[in-house]
Chains A and B, each alone.
Chain A
Amino acid sequence: MSSPAPIALTCGEPAGVGNEIALKAWQTLGTDLPFFWIGDPRHLPAGSNISLITDPSETARAVKTGMPVLPIAFEGDAVPGVAQPENAAGVIAAIELAVDLVKTGNAGAVCTNPIHKKALKDGAGFAYPGHTEFLAALGGVDQVVMMLACPELRVVPATIHIALSEVASTLTADSLEATLRITRDALTRDFGIAAPRIAVAGLNPHAGEGGAMGREELDWIIPLLDRLRSEGFDLAGPLPADTMFHATARTRYDVAVAMYHDQALIPIKTIDFAGGVNVTLGLPFVRTSPDHGTAFDIAGQGIADPSSLLAALRLAGHMVQARA
C-alpha cells in the first residue's frame, strides 16, 4: 500500500510568522507527517534547511534532508511585519496551486498559513472576505462551515464575522439547517464518526428560558432541531451556552454548534489558546489552518509558536486517513 499523498502547506503572508512556523513544524514532524511548503524560498530565513522539489511526489524523499519546498517566484521580498503589495499575487497563486494539487490527488490535503486580507486586497484586488470563502470558490461549493478543533473540543460557529447586533437577524432556520447538515456529514466522512452527537447552543442566555429572554429558541430553533431529529440526527439542545462547554458536558457530544463567533471562540481559546485548529467543512478536499493571524508584531524574531500549525497539519493527516 502506498503512503498517502503529502500535505500541501501554503506560505500565507510572507511578512507574517508563516515562514518561521513552517520550518519549525518540519523540524518537529520530519518524516512522520510529510508536507511540502509552497512559496518563495527566498522568503525563508538565510541558512534554512530546505529541499527544493519540482513535484509533490518527491516530498517523501526530500523531507529527510530539509523542509520540502515547491517554489513559486514572488515579486517582492519578505519584510517581517510589513506586507508588500507586490507579493499579493504570489500569495494567491500559492493557494491556487495547493488546491490544484489536492484536486488532482498530488496532495492529500491543504493546510494554509495565515494571510493578510488587506494586503491581498490592496495588492491584487482580492475580493473574498477571507481564506475560507476563496477556498469554497476554488472548490466549487456554495456553503462551507468553519469548525475550530482542539483535542478537547470541536465547535462550529453558525455565524462568523458579523456584528453582534446582526446575529439574531442573520441566523435563519435554513442557514442553521445547512450548517448542521454539513457538520454532520463532515464528522462522518472526515472524522470517522458514524453517528455524530451534535450539541446545539441556544442563542439567548439560558437558551431563552422558555421565552423569558428571547424567543428564537421557541420560534424556530427547537422546531428545526425536532424536525432533524425525526430524520435521524443525534442532536442535543438548544442548550444554555454557559453550561455546555465544561469538561463533563463536553463528554456528551462530538461537536458543538454555536450561534455566533464568540460563543464558539471563547470556549476554545479558553481551553487551548495555542493549539486550536481551523477546519473548513464541506469542501471537496481536506483543509485546515492554524487558528491565529499573521502576527506581524512578532514576525521575523523566531519566537512564533508553531503549536497551532503543528496541530493543523496533524489534524489534516488524520482527516485524510479517515477519508481513505
Chain B
Amino acid sequence: MKPRIGIIPGDPSGIGPELIARLLASEGVAEAADILLIGDAHIFERGQQLAGVQHELIPVDARQGSWSVSGGFAWHETRTITRDAVVKAEATRASGASVLATLDLALDLARDGVIDAVVFAPFNKAALHLAGMEHSDELHYMADRLGVVDYLSELNTLDGLWTSRVTSHIALRDVADAISEERITEAVALIDKTLRRSGLARPRISVAALNPHAGDGGNFGREEIDVIEPAVRRLAGGQMAVDGPWPSDTVFLKAVAGEIDGIVTMYHDQGQIALKLLGFDRGVTVQGGMPFPVTTPAHGTAFDIAGLGKADVGATLAAFQLACDMVENWRDA
C-alpha cells in the first residue's frame, strides 16, 4: 500500500504554490504515493503557471474517506481566500487565515486516518499571527488542535543528518534558563524515536554544549557541568546511543564525517546555522511529537523571489520523500 500523503500549498503570497506544482512534476513523485492536494483552485492554478507545468486535478471529497484516483492528482477543493485577496510577497491576515483553514482540514483528515502524513509548503508566521494564531509557531498550533500533550520539537534534517533542539523560538537571553535535564532528556528521546521511525535501528546521537568551548571546564558557563553532562550520563546508561556535550562549533563535523546520525542542540541558531550552510536548498523540517508524520521544507516563504518562477524544489521534494519514508517506518514501528 502506497503512503497517502496530504499536501497543502502553504502561504499563497510566497513560493509555496509554485513549489507544490514543481513537486508534482518531479520524477517519481506521482508514483511514490497516493497524493491528496488540499487547497483553493486559483492557488494551484497560479502555482502551475509559475512553474510552467500543468497537472490534472481530480476533485474528490476526502471527508468521505476513500479518495484514490488514477490519471491525475486527487484534489480536495477549499475556498479559503479570494483570488484578489492574495497579495504577492506580503504577510496578510487573509493569507494567514487561508493557511490555517487548509492546515486544519489536513490535520483532521490525518487524525481520522484518511491520509497518513501531511506535507506543507512554507507558511509565514507573521501572517498566521495576523490571522489569530496565538501559539509561538505552527508546531504548537497543530499540537493544540490535535490535543497532543507530549514533548514537541521541530526536527531539522539534511542528507540523513538530524537535529532537534532543547529550546526553539525564544529570545537568546532566555535560553540558558530554559535548559534543564528534563528538557534535554525529552529532546534526546524525541530525536531517537523519530530517527527510529525514519528507519534507523540504533541512532547515534550527540548532544551539543551550550557555551563556547563547552564551557571550558566551567570558565565560560557552568550549564555543561551542572545540567548537560548529568543528563547525558543518565541517558547513556539507558537504551540510547548518546554522548556529549560537544562544543557546538565542531559537533557538526562529526556529523559531516558520518560518525553520528543526530545532534541535539540547545538553541535555534546553533543547529540552523550549520544545517542551512550545509544544504540551504535541501533541508527539511519535521514537526516532532505529532501523532503522524508532518514535514515541510526548512526554508521560508522566500518573498524576495515569490512570483518569479525560480523557486528551487529541492527541499520540498526532500520533505515529500521523507514523509513517505516515515509513513513506511511508522507502520512498522
Contact = CB atoms under 8 A, between A and B. Distances in A.
Interface stretch (B29-37, B53-61, B273-281, B319-327): B273-281
A210 B270 contact: no
A32 interface: no
Interface stretch (A20-28, A78-86, A91-99, A155-163): A155-163
A260 B276 CA distance: 18
A265 B252 contact: no
Given A169-B173, A245-B273, A266-B273, A163 B221 contact: yes
Interface residues of B, number: 45
Contacts of B223: 163-165
B212 A262 contact: yes
Contacts of A64: none
A266 B270 contact: yes
Q: Is the interface of A mostly helix, strand, loop or mixed?
A: helix
Contacts of A212: 125, 129, 136, 169
Contact of B173 (A214, A262, A270, A271): A214
A293 B22 CA distance: 48
Given A245-B273, A246-B277, A265-B212, A163 B176 contact: yes
Interface in A242-297: 242-243, 245-248, 259-263, 265-271, 273
A139 interface: no
A270 B176 contact: no
Nearest to B251: A266
B211 A163 contact: yes
B141 to A, nearest CB: 14
Contacts of B269: 205, 241-242, 263
Q: Which of A206, A213, A248, A260 has the most CB of B within 10 A?
A: A213
Contact of A248 (B126, B270, B280): B280
A165 B222 CA distance: 10
A166 B249 CA distance: 19
B274 A262 contact: no
Nearest to A248: B280
Contacts of B278: 270
Nearest to B257: A273
A268 B274 CA distance: 9
Nearest to B168: A205
Contacts of B174: 214
16 contacts: A162-B212, A164-B211, A205-B269, A206-B268, A208-B171, A209-B169, A213-B169, A214-B172, A242-B272, A242-B273, A260-B172, A265-B212, A265-B249, A266-B273, A269-B250, A270-B277
Interface of A: 160-169, 203-206, 208-210, 212-216, 241-243, 245-248, 259-263, 265-271, 273
Given A160-B212, A166-B221, A206-B169, 10 more contacts: A167-B172, A204-B172, A212-B169, A214-B172, A216-B173, A261-B212, A262-B270, A265-B248, A269-B252, A273-B253
Interface of B: 125-126, 129, 136, 168-177, 210-213, 215-216, 219-223, 248-250, 252-253, 256, 266-270, 272-278, 280, 299
